[in-house]
């Protein structure tokens, strides 16, 4: 048994695994060829049986899932992923920080550690320890700087930029931007790496053009840290060790993409991703009484004024739907949208909203969380029956606040109650409009040389790659 976070249950660490009990990939169980109709049953051990009219049970072949089939849902792990997880863990973070503190200032072992804290992780820790959002982030800053971290930033600034870029990209696709021709709709959000991995591995090149090219807040923050923050602190990008505290294990996979690697300086934009539950475990392992830790204010970028924690309207997954809808309504129709009313479709994790002007629908947006809802959207697109222009997609039911890396329910608390609590805590932050934050305008000017510059395109946008399955390649299972 490998010693990873308790959130990851590892069993046989070879390069082939049977479906985990938590695996969410749909598996179709076939009846035996030539058999008469009968019942299908599943035993406690997970084996499927076919039962004929006489009550005889015949075992059915087990479904097989290889690494190429995996949707990166954090339900199970193979040895091919264990190396990645070791590189992206709280233990690895502490090892690098310890080595950096011990190394001479001018040596290659001395690093400039920078932490970026996601709003969802901040909420998870606040709910776990019964603290306010500000108390949580300031206590965590004290702990991290005690480990040798040089700077601790809030990733909300990167979320500001991600929302603005998403809004502008939607206008280009919709045809509301006269400088470009319309693009494929619906535009699908790209901030969830679990969904992106699923699309690349299972949907080929058909669905990929619909996915927004805007980087996730984590990776925008990665570009910001390794370029702008490194520059204003007078250090080289490859001397910066960037740690992202995130609500999701799939963020580790995202940070490891080749697209987010700087060939010139030979460094990743995000060096290490640790989850909320890994931070909780770190505090426990170091026997830190988090409630008694002193407060240290977060670091801020030049021109950014931040008195209280900030978040965005529209829920704990970043608020993409609401921001883009308001942005498009204003830019295309000159309409200021105040209240957004949702209609639940199929289940609580699938909702839609329609903007009507002068009695006519002009925009129809949706938010779909969880793979069953994602698959419904994808199938509608494939059949050319999708009536939405924009869909906010997240792999986890209930969205990012319920990410696989979030702290688990405590004794006497169930998962549903915890999600409700996290939503309440999230709403305690100041809800801000990215377009009214003066620091964002300065960031575009000082860092990116303008909103539509070549550097802005390079630092804020990415591309996707269909993963081709190799059939019977030397009978190797990857």
Q: What are phi and psi for residue 9, nearest 5 degrees?
A: -100, 110
The predicted pLDDT at position 39 comes to 65
Whether omega before 186 lies within 30 degrees of 0, making that bond cis, reads yes
Closest CA to 74 of 247, 221, 217, 207: 247
The predicted pLDDT at position 287 comes to 96
Specify the 3-state DSSP secondary structure of 48: strand
Burial class (CB in 10 A: 0-12, 13-18, 19+), 14: exposed
H helices of 70-228, in order, are: 79-87, 90-102, 119-129, 133-146, 156-174, 193-202, 204-207, 217-224
CB 149 within 8 A of CB 115: yes
- DSSP per-residue string spanning 98-124: HHHHHS-TTSTT--EEEEEE-HHHHHH
Instruction: Please enumerate in sequence order all residues whose Cβ is within 8 A of that of 255, keeping only pairs 6 or more positions apart, or say none.
Output: 88, 218, 219, 222, 244, 268, 269, 270, 271, 272, 273
d(CA 366, CA 390): 6
d(CA 296, CA 298): 7
Closest CA to 151 of 230, 42, 54: 230
Burial class (CB in 10 A: 0-12, 13-18, 19+), 428: middle
Distance of CA 99 to the CA centre of its chain: 29
Q: Kindly compute the dihedral angle of the four CA atoms of residues 10, 14, 18, 23, in this order, to the nearest 10 degrees.
A: 40
The predicted pLDDT at position 18 comes to 34
Give the HSE-up count for residue 167: Cα atoms under 13 Å, Cβ half-sphere: 23
pTM of the model: 0.82
d(CA 457, CA 164): 13
CB 143 within 8 A of CB 270: no
Closest CA to 278 of 397, 124, 139: 124
Domains and CATH numbers, the chain: 79-159+216-305 (3.40.50.1780), 160-214+312-435 (3.40.950.10)
Mean pLDDT per block of 10 residues along the chain (478 residues) reads 34 34 48 58 59 75 51 49 68 92 82 97 97 97 97 96 97 76 90 92 88 98 97 95 94 91 93 95 96 96 85 93 97 93 93 95 96 93 95 95 93 91 95 89 93 94 81 42
Gyration radius (Cα) of the chain, Å: 23
Specify the 3-state DSSP secondary structure of 452: coil
The predicted pLDDT at position 75 comes to 46
Instruction: Please enumerate in sequence order all residues whose Cβ is within 8 A of that of 24, keeping only pairs 6 or more positions apart, or say none.
Output: 71, 73, 75, 371
The predicted pLDDT at position 177 comes to 63
d(CA 90, CA 88): 7
The predicted pLDDT at position 110 comes to 86
Instruction: Please enumerate in sequence order all residues whose Cβ is within 8 A of that of 360, keeping only pairs 6 or more positions apart, or say none.
Output: none
The predicted pLDDT at position 47 comes to 62
Strands 187-188 and 390-394 turn out to be parallel
Instruction: Please enumerate in sequence order all residues whose Cβ is within 8 A of that of 457, keeping only pairs 6 or more positions apart, or say none.
Output: none
């Amino acid at each position: 048994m490998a010693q990873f976070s308790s959130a990851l249950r590892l069993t046989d660490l070879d390069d082939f695994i049977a479906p985990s009990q938590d695996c969410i990939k749909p598996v179709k169980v076939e009846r035996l060829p030539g058999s008469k109709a009968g019942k299908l049953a599943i035993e406690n051990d997970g084996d499927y049986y076919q039962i004929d009219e006489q009550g005889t049970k015949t075992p059915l072949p087990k479904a097989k899932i290889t690494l190429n089939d995996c949707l990166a849902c954090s339900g199970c792990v193979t040895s091919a992923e264990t190396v990645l997880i070791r590189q992206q863990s709280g233990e690895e973070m502490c090892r690098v920080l310890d080595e950096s503190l011990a190394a001479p200032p001018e040596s290659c072992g001395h690093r400039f550690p920078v932490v970026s804290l996601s709003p969802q992780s901040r909420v998870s820790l606040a709910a776990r320890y019964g603290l306010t959002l500000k108390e949580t982030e300031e206590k965590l800053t004290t702990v991290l700087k005690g480990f040798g971290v040089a700077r601790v930033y809030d990733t909300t600034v990167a979320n500001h930029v991600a929302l603005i870029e998403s809004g502008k990209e939607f206008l280009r696709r919709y045809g509301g931007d006269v400088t470009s021709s319309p693009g494929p709709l619906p535009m699908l959000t790209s901030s969830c790496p679990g969904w992106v991995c699923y699309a690349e591995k299972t949907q080929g090149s058909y669905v990929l053009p619909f996915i927004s090219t805007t980087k996730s807040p984590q990776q925008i923050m990665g570009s910001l840290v390794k370029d702008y923050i490194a520059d204003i602190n007078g250090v080289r990008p490859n001397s910066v060790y960037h740690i992202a505290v995130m609500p999701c294990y799939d963020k580790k996979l995202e940070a490891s993409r080749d697209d987010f690697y700087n060939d010139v300086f030979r460094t990743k934009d995000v060096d290490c991703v640790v989850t909320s539950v890994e931070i909780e475990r770190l505090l426990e392992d170091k026997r830190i009484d988090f409630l008694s830790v002193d407060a240290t204010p977060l670091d801020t970028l030049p021109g950014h004024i931040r008195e209280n924690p900030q978040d965005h309207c529209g829920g704990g997954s970043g608020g993409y739907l609401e921001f883009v809808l308001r942005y498009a309504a204003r830019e295309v129709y000159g309409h200021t949208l105040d209240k957004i009313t949702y209609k639940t479709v199929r289940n609580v994790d699938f909702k839609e909203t329609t903007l009507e002007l002068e009695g006519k629908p002009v925009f129809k947006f949706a938010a779909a969380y969880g793979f069953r809802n994602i698959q419904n959207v994808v199938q509608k697109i494939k059949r050319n029956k999708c009536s939405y222009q924009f869909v906010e997609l997240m792999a986890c039911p209930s969205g990012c606040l319920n990410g696989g890396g979030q702290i688990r329910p405590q004794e006497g608390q169930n998962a549903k109650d915890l999600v409700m609590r996290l939503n309440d805590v999230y709403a305690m932050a100041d809800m801000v409009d990215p377009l009214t934050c003066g620091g964002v305008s300065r960031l575009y000017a000082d860092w990116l040389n303008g909103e539509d510059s070549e550097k802005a395109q390079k630092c804020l946008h990415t591309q996707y790659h269909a993963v081709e399955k190799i059939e019977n390649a030397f009978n190797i299972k990857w």
